[in-house]
Amino acid sequence: MTPSETKAIVTLSLLAAFVDGEKHERERAEIKRIAEGLSQADGLNLPTLYQDVLMKRVSLASVAGELTSNESKQLAYEMAVCVCDADGAQSEAERMFLADVRTSLGLDASAARFSQQAEEIAAVPVGAAAGTAVTAVAAPNTPDSAELDKSILNAAILNGALELLPETLSTMAIIPLQMKLVYRIGQAHGYQLDSGHIKDFLATVGVGLTSQYLEQAGRKLLGGLLGKVGGGLLRGLGNQAVSSGMSFASTYALGHVAKRYYAGGRTLSTQMLKDAFSGVVKEGQSLQTQYLPAIQEKARTLDAGKVLSLVRGA
């Protein structure tokens, strides 16, 4: 992919992130932080791209004109779809935007099918029906702390492995799997949670949904892994620099902070949750090297074509 095509794909992803105009200020701040953090990657000035999108100095037509190969067009569309679906099912504005993207890029019916797959992943319930955000229920037994720790580690390894895969849907699956982990931990401590509460919990500790996907996919794209198949995956597995290990660390931290929060009767303040998450992320980052062989081995066994089944079965 040429630098201009990479720039166009990132720009289209940012356009998708803001198309519905409903992003919370903290999510906008996270996206800005990510743009600044990746600013030196591949010679792109991402903070400038971020400002260009917010100030409407770029258009879909101008971005589409930079994408010349079929592969870059398909990858750009897939990333835009996943950005729109990262925080849940597409809004009407997002559906219209993605339809315009398909038309502008001259994509065929397979692009619409990809959008349907992404929507199915976004629609998988975390486990509770819509209703009261938090319902206290009787926990069947005192939670086994060691078993919860094991499930948190396994979830972190799985999401670290998904981060290594080159397919865009694999990256998108990380968020719903994190939400399901929080749901199971809450349930183990006697709380029935719905997706709205879990999204608020993630946002409170500092994990944005759209921004997290942008960071994960952006690192993979700029690292040269996203979109590759076959041998590209195996070469990527041997290169730790391709992956920041962010998904392993953030999942590990979410699990342990959720465990502490629900075990303590949900008494931690917002600042205490943020501080706890920040501290455990650092712990997760230090552990990532230790568990990298397990992450790589897990990535080799995953079937990217069964991502939806993986999310449903978690």
**Which domain does 56 fall in, by range?**
3-122
* DSSP line for 251-296: HHHHHHHHHHHHHTTS---HHHHHHHHHHHHHHHHHHHHHHHHHHH
pLDDT in tens, 134-189: 665 555 557 889 999 999 999 999 999 998 888 888 888 999 999 999 999 999 99
The domain boundary, picked from 96, 122, 148, lies at: 122
CATH code at 13?
1.10.3680
Mind listing the pLDDT tens digit for each residue in 68-83?
A: 999 899 999 999 999 9
Tell me the pLDDT tens digit for each residue of 240-262.
434 557 899 999 999 999 999 99
The whole-angstrom separation of Cα 199 and Cα 205 is: 10
**Mean pLDDT on 91-97:** 91
At residue 230, the pLDDT reads 40
Q: In terms of domains, do 82 and 169 share one?
A: no
Query: Are 196 and 83 within one domain?
Result: no
Query: Does one domain contain both 115 and 145?
Result: no
What's the rounded mean pLDDT across residues 15-34?
76
Helix (H, G, I), strand (E, B) or coil at 302: coil
| Residue 97 and residue 14 share a domain | yes
- Identify the pLDDT of residue 272: 94
pLDDT at 209: 82
Same domain, 130 and 265: yes
Residues 231, 243: one domain? yes
Contacts by residues 257-266 (CB-CB < 8 Å, ≥ 24 positions apart): 257/205, 258/181, 258/182, 258/185, 258/186, 258/201, 259/145, 259/148, 259/149, 259/152, 259/185, 259/189, 261/201, 262/185, 262/186, 262/188, 262/189, 262/190, 262/191, 263/143, 263/189, 266/134, 266/191
Same domain (yes/no): 133, 93: no
10 plus 117 within the same structural domain: yes
Which residue has tokens 């409407």? 56
163: nearest Cα among 219, 87, 230, 83: 219
What total of structural domains would you count in the chain? 2
Domain C-terminal end among 87, 122, 157:
122
Mean of the pLDDT values across residues 209-228?
73
Residue 149 near residue 257 (C-beta atoms within 8 A): no
Mean local confidence (pLDDT), 101-114: 89
Q: Which of residues 122, 140, 156 is at a domain's end? A: 122
- Return the minimum-mean-pLDDT range out of 258-262, 289-293, 308-312: 308-312
> Do 118 and 73 reside in the same domain of the chain?
yes
What residue type is 123 in one-letter code?
Answer: A
127 versus 190: which is more confidently predicted? 190
Q: Same domain for 265 and 155? A: yes
Instruction: Clarify whether residues 186 and 289 are in a common domain.
Output: yes
pLDDT at residue 130, as a whole number: 44
108 and 182 part of one domain? no
Per-residue confidence (pLDDT) for residue 293, from 0 to 100: 92
